[in-house]
Amino acid sequence: MTEKTNLLDYDLKSLESYFNEIGDKSFRARQVIKWIYHHGVVDYQSMTNLSKSLRSNLEENTIIKLPEIVTEQRSEDGTRKWLIRVDNKNSVETVFIPENDRGTLCISSQVGCPLDCKFCSTAQQGFNRNLTTSEIIGQVWIANQALGCFESGKRLITNIVFMGMGEPLLNYNNVLKTINLLTDDLAFGLARRRVTVSTSGIIPEIERLKDDTNVSLAISLHASNNELRNNIVPINRSYPLNDLLAACKRYSEGRDNETVTIEYVMLNGVNDGLQDARDLVKCLHDLPAKVNLIPFNKFPGTNYTCSDQNTINAFRDILIKAGIVTITRKTRGDDIDAACGQLVGKVSAKAARHQKTSAGQI
C-alpha cells in the first residue's frame, strides 16, 4: 500500500508544485497552507473553499500528520516543555519561554545529536536521525494549539529558535523548508530576524544559509582558542575557529552587518578565566556580534559545574569594556530540565557520524 504524502512536509513552493502535478491550480497551495497554519485546521472537509472533489482527492492520497504530545511540564517561571513523539521509538523536546515582550519557542531539528559537545545533555543521548519538515514545523503547530493561539487568534509565539535537540545545519533541507513556512505570511508569518538558527559551526551550510535566507544566526562558540574548542566542541577539528569566524563575518555582511549571536556556556575552571575573556575579545574584534553568556545547567553524569556569579560578572565586564554587547542569559525552566543544554527526549541511538562534505545527508 502506497504511503500517503504528508502535506506538512511541503513549503509553499513545493506545495504549489504538488498541486500542478495532480492537475489542479497552484493557488490551491495558498488556500491549504492558510487553513493549516492560520486557522489550525487539519481536516480536509473543513477546508470549505476547496471543491468537494479536491477534498476527496486529498483525503485519498495525502494526510496532514502531526507528531503528538506525550507529556507536558510547566515550570514555576512559566516555561512549558513538551515531550513530542515522532515515531514508535523516538521523541524530542520542545520548550516555550514566555517573557513580558515576547514568547520564544525552542524547537528540535534532530533526534539526538551527533556532534558530542561535552557539556550538552542532548549530545550524551546519542543520535538517531534527522527530523522531517513535518516533524519540525509540527512542533510549532502543536505549541500554538497547546497555547490556544488558533482559537484565540493571539500570537503568543513571537520568536523561533533552532536551539533544541540536534544540529540544525546537519538537517539543512528540512530546516530550510521549515524556515520558509515560519516566515511565509500565508503560514506563521514571522519576521526573518525573529527566527534564529543556532549552529556549532558547519561552515559550508552557513554559506548556503547566507544565500538561501537571511534569518538570524547564532554560533555555539564556548571557547576562544582551537585547543579548548577541539575538546569541548569536537566539530571544531573539522571547521577551526578562525575559519568559522570568517564565515560568520561573511554571513553578517550579507545581512547589512547585523549582529551574529555568540553563545558561550560558562564552565567553571574550563573556559571562564579572564584571559579567556580577553582572547574572546580578540576573536570578535571585526565581527558585529553580541554575546550570550550561558550559566551551565548541570545534568546527570556530567563532571562540569557552572562558573560562580562573580566569575561570570568579571568575564562579562571585560567584554562590555571592549564594546561588545554582552548579557548573561537568565536560566529558565531548569526545574523541569528545560534549560539550555538539558533537553534529552527519548532517543533510540544509532552510531553517530558526521560527513564533512555532505552535512545535510546524515
Among 216, 190, 218, residue whose Cα is nearest residue 340: 218
Among the listed residues 113, 248, 283, 340, the single catalytic one is 340
CA distance 90 to 19: 32
Among 250, 289, 254, 294, residue whose Cα is nearest residue 272: 294
3 state SS of 127: strand
Cell numbers standing for residue 81 = 516543555
Q: What angle do CA 20, 15, 179 make, to 5 degrees?
A: 155
Is 248 labeled as catalytic in the residue annotation? no
Residues in contact with 94: Cβ distance below 8 Å, sequence separation at least 6, in sequence order: 81, 82, 84, 105, 106, 107, 108, 139, 142, 143, 164
Q: What is the DSSP letter of 99?
A: -
Cell numbers standing for residue 87 = 515515531
The whole-angstrom distance between residue 74's C-alpha and the CA centroid of its chain comes to 21
Is 16 labeled as catalytic in the residue annotation? no
Among the listed residues 93, 135, 167, 263, the single catalytic one is 93
What amino acid positions are annotated as catalytic residues? Answer: 93, 340
